[in-house]
Amino acid sequence: MRRRLTILSIIVMMVLAGCSGGVTNPLTDSPSDTGTAGPHDGSDTLDDTPPTGTVVTEGPIENETERAETPIDTPADSTGDKPVSEENPWGERTLTVAIDDQMNDGRSYESIVENALSYWNENSEKYAGYPIEYEVGSDADDADLVISFVPNIESCNTKENVQGCAPLYVSEDQIKRPTNVEIQGTYNETSTKLLVIHELGHTLGLRHGDAPKQIMAAKSDFTTIPKTDAHEKDWAWDHSPLTVAVDTSSVAPQNKQKVSNQVDKAINYYNSKGDNHIPGQASFTRVNSMEDADIKITVDSSSNCAQSGDCAQPFGYDPDHDNRLENYAFTEISVSDANPDAVGWYVARRIGIGALGYTSIGEFPTPLRSSQPESVRTSRWWQ
Residues that bind Zn ion in the complex, under the rule CB under 5 A: 29, 38
Q: How far is the CB of 202 from Zn ion (least distance, A)?
A: 6
Residues 133/36, Cβ–Cβ less than 8 Å: no
CA–CA separation, 164 and 195 (whole Å): 7
Nearer to Zn ion, 38 or 274 (CB): 38
Nearer to Zn ion, 117 or 206 (CB): 206
Q: How far is the CB of 131 from Zn ion (least distance, A)?
A: 22
Q: How far is the CB of 197 from Zn ion (least distance, A)?
A: 11
Nearer to Zn ion, 219 or 286 (CB): 219
Q: Cα-flanking dihedrals φ and ψ of residue 49, to 5°?
A: -105, 110
Q: How far is the CB of 17 from Zn ion (least distance, A)?
A: 24
Nearer to Zn ion, 112 or 181 (CB): 181
Nearer to Zn ion, 38 or 59 (CB): 38
Q: How far is the CB of 282 from Zn ion (least distance, A)?
A: 40
Nearer to Zn ion, 167 or 365 (CB): 167
Q: How far is the CB of 174 from Zn ion (least distance, A)?
A: 16
Q: Which residues pair with 257 in a beta bridge?
A: none
The 3-class SS string of the chain reads CHHHHHHHHHHHHHHHCCCCCCEECCEEECCCCCCCCCCEECCCEECCECCCCEEECCCCCCCCCCCCCCCCCCCCCCCCCCCCCCCCCCCCCEEEEEEEECCCCCCCCHHHHHHHHHHHHHHHHHHCCCCCEEEECCCCCCCCEEEEEECCEEEECCEEEEEEECCCCCCHHHCCCCEEEEEECCECHHHHHHHHHHHHHHHCCCCCCCCCHHHHCCEECCCECCCCCHHHCCCCCCCCCEEEEEECCCCCHHHHHHHHHHHHHHHHHHHCCCCCCCCCCCCEEECCCCCCCCEEEEECCCCCHHHHCEEEEEEEECCCCCCCCCEEEEEEEEECCCCHHHHHHHHHHHHHHHCCCCCCHHHCCHHHCCCCCHHHHCCCCCC
Q: By C-alpha distance, which of 220, 198, 224 is closest to 211?
A: 198
Of all residues in the shown chain, the one whose CB is closest to Zn ion is 29
Nearer to Zn ion, 58 or 337 (CB): 58
Nearer to Zn ion, 165 or 282 (CB): 165
Nearer to Zn ion, 38 or 354 (CB): 38
Q: How far is the CB of 42 from Zn ion (least distance, A)?
A: 13
Q: How far is the CB of 112 from Zn ion (least distance, A)?
A: 18
Task: Please state whether 91 falls in left (phi above 0), alpha (psi between -120 and 50) or beta.
Answer: left
CA–CA separation, 60 and 66 (whole Å): 18
Nearer to Zn ion, 38 or 178 (CB): 38
Q: How far is the CB of 38 from Zn ion (least distance, A)?
A: 5
Q: Which amino acid is at 133?
A: E
Q: How far is the CB of 147 from Zn ion (least distance, A)?
A: 15
